[in-house]
Amino acid sequence: MNAAHARDRLALALDVDDLVVALRLADRLRPYFGVAKVGLELFGAAGPESVSALTSEGYRVFLDLKLHDIPTTVARAARVLGGLGAAFVTVHTQGGEPMLRAAVDGMGEGAASAGAPAPCVLGVTVLTSDGEAGNEVLVARSALAAAAGCGGLVCAAGDLAVTRRAAPGLVTVVPGIRPTGTGDDDQVRTATPTGAITAGADILVIGRAVTAARDPERAAAAVVDEVESCLAPPRG
């Protein structure tokens, strides 16, 4: 298993409010991450330019805005976002199936108008700061995402056994990744890279554990090594 393959499974969370700072981090850590996550903070500071700039740096962009509104509003927003060139865009499954379907359709229309591939719409099941949602919530929301045509789910590693059964075949993106020895910050649904990959995660989202580390490159390299070791076929 090579590092390039591990990079495809790792998303760098650029949770900063300055595009220049974000691009510096992205440049430093590009050898270790194939996906860059743009959340509310960075998108609020730099807008669509954040997506185009990171795409130009060679990243697949994960636009994490968690759309959640009435279907008409979501559809209109999705048409705009669908044409930005992001590879993934999030929408909150709590909004229900009509809203999710509006997001999927809107993203496709926006991408088609821009001559770009349609982004994979990721249904967010439960926020990693929520320690109380039960399995019935996860099952219901995962099933809604699948029925609405979403391409994937965002869920905690500990929820994967439930969500993968409820919505088989969807891409699974797991935030709250904390390498051994790092704090959980404000998240309660956390996991190590090994735990998440073993549970069946397709993409791991890693932010402060690397970006706030004393030596970000060293921290990122350790994550890549851990993911590679999980993905490597057994010897013998």
Reported pTM: 0.91
What is d(CA 135, CA 52) in angstroms, rounded to the nearest whole number? 38
pLDDT value for 1: 41
208 is a domain residue: yes
What is d(CA 125, CA 57) in angstroms, rounded to the nearest whole number? 30
Of 7, 9, 37, 66, the active-site residue reads 66
* Six token digits for residue 174: 């797991």
The HSE-up count of residue 173 (CA atoms within 13 Å, CB side) is: 31
How do the residues of the chain divide into helix, strand and coil, expressed in percent and rounded to 5? Answer: 50, 15, 35
For the stretch 88-106, pLDDT in tens is 999 999 999 999 999 999 9
For the domain that residue 82 is a member of, what is the CATH number?
3.20.20.70
What is d(CA 133, CA 131) in angstroms, rounded to the nearest whole number? 6
The HSE-up count of residue 110 (CA atoms within 13 Å, CB side) is: 23
108 is a domain residue: yes
User: Average of pLDDT values for 32-40?
Assistant: 97
For the stretch 158-199, pLDDT in tens is 899 999 999 999 999 999 898 865 554 544 567 899 999 999
CB 208 within 8 A of CB 15: yes
Q: Identify whether 37 is a catalytic site residue.
A: no
Helix axes 97-114, 71-82, angle to 10 degrees: 30
pLDDT value for 186: 47
Terminal Cα-to-Cα distance of the chain (whole angstroms): 16
Distance from chain centroid for Cα 5: 17
* Six token digits for residue 162: 């439930």
User: Average of pLDDT values for 198-213?
Assistant: 94
236 is a domain residue: no
- Of the candidates 74, 190, 61, the one whose C-alpha atom is nearest the C-alpha of residue 127 is 190
Domain count, the chain: 1
CB 6 within 8 A of CB 18: no
Residue 221 belongs to what domain range? Answer: 3-231
pLDDT value for 126: 83
99 is a domain residue: yes
- Residues of the chain above pLDDT 70, percent: 90
Examine the pLDDT at 235 and tell me if it is beyond 90: no
- How confident is the prediction for the chain on average, in pLDDT? 91
* Six token digits for residue 60: 């697949």
